[in-house]
Amino acid sequence: MDALLVDSFEKLLQGACSPAIVREVERTADASALWATIEASGYLDLLLPGEGGAGLREAFPLWLACGHHTLPVPLAQTMWARGVLGADAGAGAIAIAPTVQRRSDGSWHCPGVPFGAVAQSLLLHTPEGPSCVPLAAARVQRSGVHGSLQADIVLGALPDSGPCGNADLQVAGALITATLMAGALQRLLAMTLQYANDRAQFGKPIGKFQAIQQQLAVLVEQAFAARMAAELGCAETGVMPQRLRAAVAKARAADAAEKAVAIAHAVHGAIGVTDEFDLQLVTRRLQEGRGDHGSASYWHAQLGRALLAAGTPTVPFLLEVLLPGPAARDGGVA
């Protein structure tokens, strides 16, 4: 990935996605101004087929940045949907449906869609493959969880063929969530370190206390592990994730978030849970992300099933099935 491209993306988010704007979008579910800036930047088309052949490994640092800034719109999901569907992708912000259920009244329900409250289109699966449905005529109901942009979506018209199982979308949704979480964990670490240096008690910064230092070391470890797992999941030259690597990414991010959020709040004390302090923007997103597109246990079961079915010892399974072969890594990630 071109470092300049990543830098200018960082600058874009710094300017367009301040904590005040994140709060505003979470309050109103109106992200039109923010989305217009993102749309104009051209980054949404990074994965378009034929556009210089960018794949998940190029998207990785950008998705990390989205997580770092707690971007309140599905930029990563839209980028991926455009990469898969090209010109057929829907207009505006695209959310990914984790699941689609037929109700007795004939309607189609998509519960718990991450960023569903700020999306204009919904990506779901049909027998012909992934397809985008405009949400203009859909009923979008925010989850009611404070600050959450998750929504239950009830669709009116569907593509003729109707929706079907969405294994690929589930995998992509999980990997994107994992990468956003890895980025959020880096922000969490930076904020917590800063606070440990700034806050003084007993006459010295609390970061000088060994009990705090030991916890911060664990926080770094968890942030590093989640980032490596996400990078592993994104180690693709194309746009389609590999199921088991995405499973590792999502499961590891969820386990890391559990520990890291607890440490960050422990170090911050009461200020960490106040509305006006920015930590909660990150920790709420991390806690919600743990469940989005399947929790740790969901993906652990998938991984365990694959490992047992393979019949090989663990290290050969890692090397020959789970980890990427040389081709996916040639050139590495910038």
Partner 1 sequence: MLSPLQLSRIPDRAETLRPAVRAFLAEALAGRPADRLARSWMGFDAAFSRALAARGWVGLTLPREYGGGGKDAFHRFVLAEELLARGAPVSAHWIADRQSGPLILKYGSSAQKDFFLPKICAAEAFFCIGMSEPQSGSDLAGLRTRAARTAEGWVLKGQKLWTTNAHRAQYMIALVRTSGSPEDRHQGLSQVIVDLSLPGITVRTIGDLAGDAHFNEVFFDDVQLPADALVGEEGAGWAQVTAELAFERSGPERIYGSIVLFDAWLGHLRSLQRASESDLILAGKLLAHLAPLREMSLALTARLAEGASPVIEAALVKDLGTEFEQALPNLLADALYASPEGPPPEMLLRTLHYVLQVCPTFSLRGGTREILRGVIARALGLR
Burial call 220-249: b when 16+ CB within 10 Å, e when fewer:
bebbebbbebbbbbbbbbebebbbbbbbbb
* DSSP-derived 3-state class of residue 132: strand
Judged by CB under 8 A, the residue of 225, 260, 267, 286 near partner 1 is 225
User: Which tokens hold the place of 103?
Assistant: 């109700």
Lay out the site mask for partner 1 across 269-298 (x = CB under 8 A, - = otherwise): ---------------------------xx-
Q: Does 308 bind partner 1 (CB under 8 A)?
A: yes
Show the CA angle centred on residue 42, arms to residues 37 and 46, nearest 5°. 135
**Least Å from the CB of residue 140 to partner 1:** 33
**Least Å from the CB of residue 66 to partner 1:** 17
**Least Å from the CB of residue 98 to partner 1:** 19
**Least Å from the CB of residue 321 to partner 1:** 10
Nearest CA among 74, 58, 33, 21 for reference residue 278: 21
Distance CA 29, CA 19 (A): 15
Q: Does 8 bind partner 1 (CB under 8 A)?
A: no
Query: With CB under 8 A, what is the number of residues at the site for partner 1?
Result: 56
What stretch of H or E contains 113?
strand 108-113
What are the Cα distances from residue 257, in Å, to 194, 223, 307? Answer: 19, 8, 25
Question: Is 133 or 185 the residue whose CB approaches partner 1 more closely?
Answer: 185
Q: Does 62 bind partner 1 (CB under 8 A)?
A: no
Distance CA 325, CA 310 (A): 18
Q: Does 174 bind partner 1 (CB under 8 A)?
A: no
Phi, psi of 157 (to 5 degrees): -80, 140
Nearest CA among 274, 314, 330, 298 for reference residue 177: 298
Distance CA 120, CA 113 (A): 12
- Looking at 9-17, 30-38, 85-93, 301-309, which segment touches partner 1 (CB under 8 A)? 301-309
Q: Does 262 bind partner 1 (CB under 8 A)?
A: no
Distance CA 133, CA 216 (A): 44
Q: Does 52 bind partner 1 (CB under 8 A)?
A: no
Distance CA 129, CA 214 (A): 49
Q: Does 329 bind partner 1 (CB under 8 A)?
A: yes
Judged by CB under 8 A, the residue of 69, 187, 227, 284 near partner 1 is 227
User: Which tokens hold the place of 6?
Assistant: 């990543």
* DSSP-derived 3-state class of residue 166: coil
Q: Does 326 bind partner 1 (CB under 8 A)?
A: yes
Judged by CB under 8 A, the residue of 160, 275, 276, 330 near partner 1 is 330
Question: Is 109 or 300 the residue whose CB approaches partner 1 more closely?
Answer: 300
Contacts (CB under 8 A) with partner 1, residues 179-218: 186, 193, 196-197, 207-208, 210, 212-214, 216-218
Write out the residues near partner 1 by the rule CB under 8 A. Answer: 186, 193, 196-197, 207-208, 210, 212-214, 216-218, 220-221, 224-229, 231-232, 235, 245, 247-248, 251-252, 255, 296-297, 299-308, 311, 313-318, 322-323, 326, 329-330, 332-333
